[in-house]
Amino acid sequence: MGRATAPDPMTSAEALLRTAAAAGIDVCFANPGTTEMPLVAALDAVPDVRAVLGLFEGVCTGAADGYGRMTGRPALTLLHLGPGFANGIANLHNAQRARSPVVNLIGDQTSWHLEHDAPLTSDIESLARPVSGWLRTSSSAQAVPGDFAEAVAAATGPPGSVASLILPADHQQGAVDGPHAVAPATTRPRTSERSVASAAEALGGSVRGPTSGVTLLLGGSALSVRGQRAAARIRRARGARLLAETFPARWERGGDLPTIDRLPYFPQQVQELLATDSHVIVAGAREPIAFFGYEGVPSQLVEAERLLELASPGEDAEAALEELADRLGPDARANADEAPADGASTTGAPEGALDPAKVGAVLAAGLPENAIVMDEAATTGLPFYFAAAPRHTLLSLTGGAIGQGLPCATGAAIACPDRKVIAFQADGSGMYTLQSLWTQARESLDIVTLLCSNRAYRILQVELGRAGVWAPGPVARDLTELDRPELDWVALARGCGVPGERVETAEALARALTRALAEPGPHLIEMML
């Protein structure tokens, strides 16, 4: 570390941004206010850090998450005091659950003004702590470059994390010597020899059958190309079942990659699916935990005695899977491409009124090679996972805080300007951060939003049933229905500068998707379900 040499003193804000640029951080998703003006001014002095404006802080934090997932490098956010930061918390919660690298720069009142409790003053640390793996308020301008370098290192990990640096306005503008070096990223630690041996032992006599078997649950870095190819070798050698965690931060899928199902969402489904397994081996994933606690259903869905951890989410799951495969004998030693699964192309193009199955089939068939799909389609999204599709990267809602899809797609498109991005988006959650569309138009991003208009919080209707409210009263039903009035997503998109169209059939969707993908810039297709 130590300070890099710099000829002239500069402001702490400029030194911070030069520290960022030297560490390879090139984007700042910003919604600044008065207390961030020194950092705003410094953005003009450090053109290597590109400022991208969001009209709501949840857009900025969700975009930073998407950027981090696609690049492995943190983006900056620039946010305005406690309330502005608070608007970004929901998507930081998702980012923290995704282990995405994000560095928040949060302006605060001038340090000597804090005690007077001016209207915008609040306890930013209390707000930031629940979503920050690293948190600090800079104590002086001189401390800022070093604090920031620590924040970047903490965010980069591995695993990635949200790091939040609170910067009183006066600490952004004092003279400092220059930027600070950022510690080089560390590598993921190897899993223990014992973990690999235990997993190999569990797989030793594994033959998939009706009463016993082994499931390999993949998450985090295990869902890379390398991790999945190693897992497929294990499947080929021992018949183990492969599953992906329910809401992966990033999952390489499709084309000649192994076909892997996803762990179901509802806990009873998970219990049923895994009931006959002798062992469940987790690699890069957490053990299966119920999303919510339901009476009579355990929180931990696999008993401790059946559970083996090959690699924790922070460990090198790819290497662990390869090591495990190598142990299982010659059958598992070499990669072999799998034939693409049968899918939409062989069953014919769907026709007629849209439903989730047809939407999934049309999307899978129409997906361009190497696309990025951000899935916040909720109840509409499931069939897409069963359709054969070309190679793509899938991002999902990691923390359950809705309103992630449109911002995350925005950040992914900034990160990968040469790839097409599909925002596969439910309507209820889409309304949370629809301001993202404006940033997509402003930055001319190649994003097609497939908006699933079912005019309901459908998942809540399912949960009302599960809660035993089988015949919900008119008030309960009304709180889950979004049809009074109907949202007009084509109008909302146009309001944000994004062209859109509405489709009611599978054929119309296929045509609209082809058209939208052929034109540069963002588009929205409202799918009436």
**Interface of this chain with a second copy, residues 417 to 446, rule: CB under 8 A:** 428, 431-432, 434-435, 438, 441-442
By CB under 8 A, tell whether 41 contacts a second copy. yes
Q: What is the secondary structure of 222-257 as a DSSP string?
A: GGSHHHHHHHHHHHHHH--EEEE-SS-S-EEESTTS
CB of 333 to a second copy, least distance (A): 37
Among candidates 108, 18, 25, which has minimal Cα distance to 64?
Answer: 25
Interface pick for a second copy out of 1, 44, 204, 333 (rule CB under 8 A): 44
Among candidates 155, 144, 201, 134, which has minimal Cα distance to 177?
Answer: 144
Q: Which residues, 6+ apart, have CB-to-CB distance to 511 below 8 Å?
A: none
Interface pick for a second copy out of 469, 514, 515, 519 (rule CB under 8 A): 469
By CB under 8 A, tell whether 83 contacts a second copy. yes
Interface pick for a second copy out of 122, 192, 271, 370 (rule CB under 8 A): 122
- Number of other residues whose CB lies within 10 A of the CB of residue 304: 7
Q: Dihedral sign for Cα 311, 315, 316, 317, please.
A: positive
By CB under 8 A, tell whether 296 contacts a second copy. no
Interface pick for a second copy out of 93, 188, 229, 238 (rule CB under 8 A): 93
3-class DSSP state of 405: helix
Closer of 381 and 428 to a second copy (Cβ): 428
> Of 113-121, 175-183, 313-321, 327-335, which segment contacts a second copy by CB under 8 A?
113-121
> Of 379-387, 410-418, 494-502, 506-514, which segment contacts a second copy by CB under 8 A?
494-502
The whole-angstrom distance between residue 176's C-alpha and the CA centroid of its chain comes to: 36
Closer of 68 and 500 to a second copy (Cβ): 500
CB 410 within 8 A of CB 389: no
d(CA 321, CA 276): 23
Q: Dihedral sign for Cα 298, 299, 301, 305, please.
A: negative
By CB under 8 A, tell whether 119 contacts a second copy. yes
Site string for a second copy, 144-173 (x = CB under 8 A): -------------------------xx---
By CB under 8 A, tell whether 37 contacts a second copy. yes
Closer of 128 and 412 to a second copy (Cβ): 128
Considering only residues 179 through 208, tell me which ones interact with a second copy, judged by CB under 8 A: none
Question: In which residue are the tokens 């090959």 written?
Answer: 310
d(CA 323, CA 327): 6
By CB under 8 A, tell whether 403 contacts a second copy. yes
> Of 52-60, 306-314, 356-364, 368-376, which segment contacts a second copy by CB under 8 A?
52-60
- # binding residues, a second copy (CB under 8 A): 99
| Angle 53-55-59 from CA coordinates, rounded to 5° | 80
Interface pick for a second copy out of 71, 77, 138, 398 (rule CB under 8 A): 398
Interface pick for a second copy out of 296, 330, 474, 520 (rule CB under 8 A): 474
